[in-house]
């Protein structure tokens, strides 16, 4: 008895110091002398679990259980091994037996809940997570239960669990506010006149036979411009001529190699602040077309928007989605879709006119989402801020990404019941789908067609969407690891924006 007490103390000391290699060596020395003591086999098995060597752990713990069949901790630990290796049926057998022998084993209901959930026994999973939550304040269990409530169409219960999770996050309110701060433009530009005088005023002349480094501007047939930098201008222009057949004029400004990037950014910024359309998909700054004052007003007044610039147009871009648009146009819900997309664009996309294509784009029947029945998607900075799905009964479901910030401010005082009463089909999910792009401030709404208009009129929901979209717009041009590829259905965007223009004219706006 004394030996066992001493051995337990030694084993605990190794474990507390996280010295699992030392623990294994100690157990080896004891097992060599006497392999009939289940304690050392069980302890070595636990050390293997910590080292994620689950097969070795199962062998040791199984031997320990042969010596001591009612070894509750051994059954629990082997159950965890089976859970970690996705052998959920075996995990349940061991964990259930361990629970019957000792129901105070740490988080046993949590692991049972996950195992049953993975076997699609969702109601049992909910029961076990609920039992676990009686004893532990566990965000992971709360998130798991919310997911199961959603899977079993118990949306109101799911939303209440999400609300509890958001209340926990109020401790991070300052951090999330910091993420959403409106940053000032890095580049300051002088105001300049309209084309064609702008180019001479900033030092550009028509390209002749220059071979030095510098910034060039392609003037294109559809009143767009492309701005680039080149160390050897004649080589770069030759490449453009191979790819573009709509170049009308080329302008050039000699710049030393060390200043190319800053001068390119400055030139792009000048064009944007003067409402000139550029074809660039990099190094752009949303503050140039939606200034700091407008951005603050956007966040404080959910009815505010400001439109500048001109509608995007491109024959090449239009052709890519033309056939798919004609298919979408024949859908029975097409008119309702246009109404909903118009509402979203007007309320949720800042300066949707000047920011079209470079900052936001809309797809039509995207091929890679065909199996999911996605019929349209609005993207900002490669984040699908709005996706629309066709259900089996031909109704629509809207998936919308938003910021947590307004919810964190709201829930402490108001709870969530009033919101759910106004939008009964609203489903809220916490996700971390876009990592660095969203910096952890990301929440998902799933809304049925009949409630989408109500959701877009709800101050809490709409302000969350607006804050999120503004941040995504401000992130455009900051990409470091990839270059954006834009897919844009011009026929669809034309229809939506033209309808908005007609509505504004009718309302005297």
Specify the pLDDT at position 193.
Answer: 55
Whole-angstrom CA distances from 286 to 344, 358, 440 are 19, 10, 22
- How far out from the chain centre does Cα 34 lie? 55
Categorize the per-residue pLDDT at 1 as very low, low, confident or very high, splitting at 50, 70 and 90.
very low
Beta-carbon contacts of 467 under 8 Å, excluding residues fewer than 6 positions away, are 180, 299, 402, 403, 405, 406
- Asked if the peptide bond before residue 301 counts as cis, ω within 30 degrees of 0, the response is no
Say how far apart CA 35 and CA 46 lie, in whole Å. 17
Residue 442 neighbours by CB distance under 10 Å: 20
Average pLDDT over residues 304-310: 92
Q: Where are the beta strands (DSSP E) in 356-412?
A: 360-364, 374-380, 383-390, 396-402
Question: Are residues 198 and 192 in contact, defined by beta-carbon separation less than 8 angstroms?
Answer: yes
Specify the pLDDT at position 370.
Answer: 87
Q: What angle do CA 43, 45, 47 make, to 5 degrees?
A: 70
pLDDT in tens, 373-426: 999 999 998 899 999 999 999 899 999 999 999 999 888 778 888 888 889 889
Beta-carbon contacts of 289 under 8 Å, excluding residues fewer than 6 positions away, are 272, 273, 275, 308, 309, 351, 354, 355
Question: Are residues 229 and 260 in contact, defined by beta-carbon separation less than 8 angstroms?
Answer: yes
Average pLDDT over residues 471-490: 76
Strands 225-230 and 427-430: unpaired
Specify the pLDDT at position 77.
Answer: 96
Beta-bridge partners for 396: 390
Average pLDDT over residues 229-239: 87
Mean model confidence pLDDT for the chain: 89
Residue 96 neighbours by CB distance under 10 Å: 14
pLDDT at 196 exceeding the cut of 60: no
Beta-carbon contacts of 72 under 8 Å, excluding residues fewer than 6 positions away, are 98, 101, 102, 105
Say how far apart CA 400 and CA 452 lie, in whole Å. 10
Q: What angle do CA 214, 220, 221 make, to 5 degrees?
A: 160
What percent of the chain stands above pLDDT 70?
A: 94
The CATH class for the domain spanning 197-283 reads alpha beta
pLDDT at 327 exceeding the cut of 50: yes
CA 385, 386, 392, 395 dihedral sign is: positive
Specify the pLDDT at position 2.
Answer: 47
Average pLDDT over residues 303-317: 89
Beta-carbon contacts of 258 under 8 Å, excluding residues fewer than 6 positions away, are none
Question: Are residues 99 and 112 in contact, defined by beta-carbon separation less than 8 angstroms?
Answer: yes
Specify the pLDDT at position 502.
Answer: 87
Say how far apart CA 390 and CA 386 lie, in whole Å. 14
pLDDT in tens, 148-189: 999 999 999 999 999 999 999 888 889 999 999 987 765 555
pLDDT at 436 exceeding the cut of 90: no
Say how far apart CA 288 and CA 275 lie, in whole Å. 9
| Continuous H helices in 276-404 | 292-300, 315-329, 334-348
Domain ranges of the chain: 2-153, 197-283, 315-506
| Percent helix, strand and coil across the chain, each to the nearest 5 | 55, 10, 30
Domain covering 2-153, topology: 1.25.40
Say how far apart CA 39 and CA 30 lie, in whole Å. 10
The helix (run of H) or strand (run of E) holding residue 60 is helix 54-67
Specify the pLDDT at position 187.
Answer: 53
Instruction: Report pTM.
Output: 0.82
pLDDT at 367 exceeding the cut of 50: yes
Choice between 196 and 38, residue whose per-residue pLDDT is larger:
38
Whole-angstrom CA distances from 47 to 4, 80, 110, 342 are 18, 13, 21, 59
What percent of the chain stands above pLDDT 90?
A: 58
Specify the pLDDT at position 482.
Answer: 47
pLDDT at 197 exceeding the cut of 70: no
67-81, 277-291, 308-322, 434-448: range with lowest mean pLDDT: 277-291
């Amino acid at each position: 008895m004394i030996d066992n007490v001493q051995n337990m103390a030694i084993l605990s000391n190794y474990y507390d110091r996280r010295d699992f290699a030392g623990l294994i060596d100690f157990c080896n020395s004891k097992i060599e002398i006497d392999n009939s003591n289940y304690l050392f086999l069980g302890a070595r098995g636990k050390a293997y679990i910590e080292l994620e060597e689950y097969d070795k752990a199962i062998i040791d713990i199984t031997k320990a259980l042969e010596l001591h069949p009612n070894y509750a901790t051994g059954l629990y630990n082997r159950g965890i091994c089976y859970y970690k290796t996705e052998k959920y049926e075996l995990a349940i057998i061991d964990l259930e037996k361990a629970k019957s022998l000792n129901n105070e084993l740490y988080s046993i209901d949590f692991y049972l809940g996950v195992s049953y959930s993975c076997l699609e026994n969702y109601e049992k999973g909910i029961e076990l997570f609920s039992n676990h939550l009686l004893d532990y304040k566990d965000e992971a269990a709360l998130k798991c239960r919310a997911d199961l409530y959603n899977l079993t169409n118990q949306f109101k219960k799911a939303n209440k669990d999400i609300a509890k999770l958001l209340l926990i996050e109020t401790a991070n309110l300052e951090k999330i506010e910091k993420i959403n701060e409106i940053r000032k433009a890095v580049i300051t530009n002088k105001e300049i006149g309209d084309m064609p005088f702008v180019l001479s005023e900033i030092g550009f002349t028509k390209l002749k036979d220059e071979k030095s480094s510098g910034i060039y501007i392609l003037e294109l047939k559809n009143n767009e411009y492309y701005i680039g930098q080149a160390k050897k201008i004649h080589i770069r222009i030759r490449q453009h001529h191979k790819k573009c057949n709509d170049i009308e004029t080329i302008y050039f400004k000699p710049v030393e190699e060390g200043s190319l990037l800053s001068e390119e950014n400055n030139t792009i910024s000048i064009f944007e602040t003067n409402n000139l359309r550029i074809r660039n998909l990099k190094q752009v700054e949303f503050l140039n077309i939606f200034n700091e004052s407008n951005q603050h007003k956007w966040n404080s007044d959910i009815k505010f928007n400001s439109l500048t610039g001109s509608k995007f147009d491109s024959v090449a871009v239009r052709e890519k989605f033309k056939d798919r648009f004609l298919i979408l146009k024949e859908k029975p819900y097409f008119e309702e879709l246009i109404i909903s997309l118009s509402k979203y664009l007007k309320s949720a996309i800042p300066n949707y006119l000047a920011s079209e294509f470079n900052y936001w784009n809309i797809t039509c029947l995207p091929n890679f989402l065909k199996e999911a029945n996605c019929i349209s998607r609005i993207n900002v900075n490669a984040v699908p801020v709005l996706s629309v799905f066709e259900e089996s009964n031909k109704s629509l479901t809207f998936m919308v990404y938003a910021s947590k910030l307004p919810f964190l401010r709201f829930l402490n005082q108001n709870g969530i019941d009033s919101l759910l009463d106004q939008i009964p089909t609203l489903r809220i999910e916490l996700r971390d789908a876009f990592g660095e792009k969203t910096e952890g401030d990301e929440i998902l709404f799933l809304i049925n067609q009949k409630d989408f208009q109500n959701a877009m009129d709800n101050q809490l929901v709409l302000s969350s969407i607006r804050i999120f979209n503004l941040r995504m717009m401000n992130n455009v041009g900051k990409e470091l690891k990839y270059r954006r590829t834009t897919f844009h259905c011009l026929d669809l965007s034309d229809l939506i924006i033209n309808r908005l223009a007609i509505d504004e004219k009718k309302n005297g706006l």
